[in-house]
Amino acid sequence: MSERIKQLRDDFDRELGSVTADLEATALRDRWIGRKSGLLTAEMKTLGKLSPDERREAGQRLNELKDHVESEIALLQDGFAGRRDAEQLVRERIDITLPGRRIDSGHLHPITLLRQKIEDIFVSMGYHIEDGPEIETDFYNFDALNIPSAHPARSPQDTFYLGDHLALRSQTSTVQIHAMQRRQPPLRVIAPGRVFRRDTPDATHNPMFFQVEGLLVDRGITLGDLKGTIEEFVRRMFGPETMIRFRPSYFPFVEPGAEIDYTCFKCGGSGCRVCKGSGWIEMGGSGMVHPNVLKTVGIDPEQYSGFAFGLGLDRLCALMYGIDDIRLLYENDVRFLEQFS
């Protein structure tokens, strides 16, 4: 019997040597000490046929072999588990020195960025930010702004009417009237907002665009105050070398009226692609508030005077950011919008 047990042990050790995976180790255990059909289990069952002395001897040997099988297989399986853990560690290793993934964040619209910059400058000069409705009556859109009844701006070809006497405002100058009705002079307001005109869309025209209106009313205000204010604004906006010029122009709600140009922020006035070689960029309209406008809101033009100006944001935004078509500002293409911050 002891010869046979020795043979069994050799067989087991040989089979053990060829095991390469955890599943094979489990199968080896079943083959040798499985409860139903294990080789050693079957061997144990034959002990009953031996004499008591032989049985004790063989039983002890078989138990030693069983311990040997169990401990060798457990050792092997520990080894496999350790290798698995090590492989998993390598596979799942995290390189904590890698930079984190960037989380996409929203962007402010370029018009908003520009509007905020303009607001900051005027607020620091003591101006209030004023708001007004986008839908206006004839009174605010035209009458109070001294726009004659036959003026072409009143025609349905120019203005979006929503009824007989209601229209989408065509300029932020309407907020001048609201502001003067709400506050007593002295007053300084700027009013950024959307305006609407029946203009055919092209690279420099949109039927909806943004303006910023400015209004200052006080005693003794002159054209010099308007000029000084605009000069201060353009220098803070575009740099200390920036100059302005006024070109006489007509707007019914100011007298005198002027278009304002400033020296090109790109070339400084020598002429480039941005200013189309002229050295100047058009900023918007301006002038001294017409006495009729002051009278309409109950301000005595003998005691008070004021200036107003209105800037278009879209074209300025396009020039500043190198956008060659203002319609891009409203197409909401994220690839376009995320370039600005």
Angle at 18 between CA 15 and CA 19, to 5 degrees: 95
What is the rounded CA–CA span in Å between residue 214 and residue 125? Answer: 12
What is the rounded CA–CA span in Å between residue 293 and residue 255? Answer: 10
Q: Binder to ligand FA5 among 185, 192, 269, 287 (CB under 6 A)? A: 287
Among the residue ranges 50-58, 234-242, 273-281, 311-319, the one whose residues contact ligand FA5 (CB under 6 A) = 311-319
- Which residue minimizes CB distance to ligand FA5? 312
283, 316 Cβ separation under 8 angstroms: yes
What is the rounded CA–CA span in Å between residue 201 and residue 304? Answer: 40
Q: Are strands 187-196 and 128-129 parallel, antiparallel or unpaired?
A: parallel
Q: Find the helix or strand (DSSP H, E) in which 44 lies.
A: helix 39-45
Residues in 3-62 that interact with ligand FA5 by CB under 6 A: none
Among the residue ranges 5-13, 18-26, 202-210, 239-247, the one whose residues contact ligand FA5 (CB under 6 A) = 202-210
Q: Binder to ligand FA5 among 110, 192, 257, 269 (CB under 6 A)? A: 257
Q: Which is nearer to ligand FA5, 85 or 131 (CB)?
A: 131
Binding flag, residue 142, ligand FA5 (CB under 6 A):
no
Structure-token match 């353009």, residue found = 234
Would you tell me the crossing angle of helices 110-124 and 223-238 to the nearest 10 degrees? 130
Binding mask 158-197 for ligand FA5 (x = CB under 6 A): -------------x-x-----------------------x
The least distance separating ligand FA5 from the CB of residue 203, rounded to whole angstroms, comes to 10
Q: Find the helix or strand (DSSP H, E) in which 42 lies.
A: helix 39-45
The least distance separating ligand FA5 from the CB of residue 297, rounded to whole angstroms, comes to 15
Q: Find the helix or strand (DSSP H, E) in which 217 lies.
A: strand 208-218
The least distance separating ligand FA5 from the CB of residue 170, rounded to whole angstroms, comes to 7
Binding flag, residue 255, ligand FA5 (CB under 6 A):
no
Binding flag, residue 296, ligand FA5 (CB under 6 A):
no
Residues in 264-283 that interact with ligand FA5 by CB under 6 A: 282
Within a 13 Å sphere around the CA of 269, how many CA atoms are in the beta-carbon half? 10
The single-letter DSSP state of residue 148 is -
Binding flag, residue 146, ligand FA5 (CB under 6 A):
no
Q: What is the dihedral of CA 301, 283, 127, 206, to 10 degrees?
A: 100
Q: Binder to ligand FA5 among 110, 269, 285, 306 (CB under 6 A)? A: 285
Binding flag, residue 251, ligand FA5 (CB under 6 A):
yes
Residues at the site binding ligand FA5, with contacts judged by CB under 6 A? 171, 173, 197, 199, 205-206, 209, 211, 251, 254, 257, 282, 284-287, 308-310, 312, 314-315, 326
